[in-house]
A = this chain, B = another copy of it.
Amino acid sequence: MTHAHALPDVRALCFDVFGTVVDWHGSIAAEVQRLRLPVDGSAFALAWRAGYQPAMQQVRSGALPWTNIDGLHRRILDGLLAEHGIAMDEAARADLNRIWHRLQPWPDSVAGLLRLKRRYTLTTLSNGNLSLLVAMAKFGGLPWDAVLTAEFFHHYKPDPEVYLGAARLLDLAPEQVMLVAAHPSDLRAAAACGLRTAYVARPLERGPGGAMERWTPGEFDLAVDSFEALAATLGLP
């Protein structure tokens, strides 16, 4: 691991959001339970999220025209409800789909971001669409300096256009930008574009006992287990 003092040039921290900043699994499982849907909340959350990569791949391949994440989440949701034989009217479906706008931050997220904001420009760098990310930030009190999204580039991560587009909009060289993410695959794609990388372990992303993507110690510039630890590692009080 590079020590933090070897990263003096980093000016902006760009954050993956789903799983890194907010707890999609816990938030969705709780909502499914609250609505008393006849399914297991955890399994439903995992299935909804599992549809996400294939849906983005359909956009990437051109099988689907550009569709934002609200639209992809809705397609997956409609499929899941049909699969489980759950009847739900349009208004209820639209509201359930917006649970992705109301995901709870991890307990350290807001406090850590506020510390990091004293020195760095903080942005999202998410596949979530702008309106989703703005609603989530207002819901959870996430103090972004700017909301950057795949939607600006009509490319989803891990396409290089997203990482390089963020650096360009921030008027920074790639090495002045650090991606903060709980997903090694996202970090590897950012590193391939020249960005710095900070891995944040989120062992509960898929619920208690859920699997985490493997990575190799030393693979990323920094590796921490919370945003508070990231702030401390970067020397912020």
Q: Which residue in B70, B134, B172 is a CB contact (below 8 Å) of A121?
A: B134
Chain B residues near A170 (CB-CB < 8 A): 130-131, 134
A132 (CB) vs chain B CBs: closest residue: B171
**Chain B nearest CB: distance from A144 CB in Å?**
8
A130 with B70, Cβ < 8 A, contacts A138-B121, A145-B137, A147-B146 known: no
Contacts from A to B (Cβ < 8 Å): 70, 121, 129-131, 133-134, 137-138, 144-147, 151-152, 169-172
B146 x A130 contact (CB < 8 A): yes
Chain B residues near A152 (CB-CB < 8 A): 152
Of A144, A146, A152, A172, which is in contact with the most chain B CB atoms at under 10 Å from its CB?
Answer: A146
B171 x A129 contact (CB < 8 A): yes
Kindly state the separation between the CA atoms of A138 and B11 in the bound complex, as whole angstroms.
13
B146 x A134 contact (CB < 8 A): yes
Kindly state the separation between the CA atoms of A152 and B138 in the bound complex, as whole angstroms.
22
A151 x B131 contact (CB < 8 A): no
B131 x A171 contact (CB < 8 A): yes
A145 x B151 contact (CB < 8 A): no
**Chain B nearest CB: distance from A98 CB in Å?**
10
Chain B residues near A147 (CB-CB < 8 A): 145-147
